[in-house]
């Protein structure tokens, strides 16, 4: 499978592929810009949202990625205390990540 073309379309396609393959309700593809996390494409319950806003990087799991420069896989976990307000605002469901 080849994914090429306009960067926004590519991010949308990749988010959808990840969501469908792993049967996920939410997939975020984002970019760190200074102290902000910009959401480029979001797969949300089968729908794609582009240019979905931004938030303070410090309050996201991506802050760890920025700090360590490691690849991280974030798994939904209700025992962890980092709340994802982006998903809560759009779905009415609160999610937590580790």
- The string of pLDDT tens digits covering residues 17-67 is 999 998 888 888 888 899 998 889 999 889 998 888 888 888 777 787 778
> Does some domain include residue 2?
no
Instruction: Report yes or no on 61 lying in a domain.
Output: yes
> How many Å separate Cα 34 from the centre of its chain?
17
25 lies in a domain? yes
What pLDDT score does 41 carry?
Answer: 92
In a domain, 48, yes or no: yes
For the whole model, what pTM was predicted?
0.65
For residue 23, being part of any structural domain is answered with yes
Give the structural domain span for 26. 7-97
Predicted confidence at residue 4, as pLDDT, reads 75
Beta bridge partners of 49: 42
Task: Assess if residue 1 is contained within a domain.
Answer: no
Tally Cβ neighbours within 10 Å of residue 62: 19
Q: How many domains does the chain have?
A: 1
Radius of gyration in angstroms for the set of CA atoms belonging to the chain, rounded to a whole number: 13
With respect to residue 62, please indicate whether it lies within any of the assigned structural domains: yes
């Amino acid at each position: 499978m080849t994914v090429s073309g306009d960067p926004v379309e590519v991010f949308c396609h990749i988010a959808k592929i990840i969501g469908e393959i792993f049967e996920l309700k939410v997939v975020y593809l984002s970019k760190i810009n200074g102290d902000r996390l910009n959401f480029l494409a979001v797969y949300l319950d089968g729908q794609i949202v582009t240019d979905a806003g931004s938030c303070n990087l410090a309050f996201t799991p991506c802050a760890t990625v920025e700090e360590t420069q490691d690849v991280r896989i974030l798994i939904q976990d209700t025992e962890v205390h980092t709340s994802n307000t982006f998903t809560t605002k759009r779905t009415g469901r609160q999610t937590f990540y580790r």
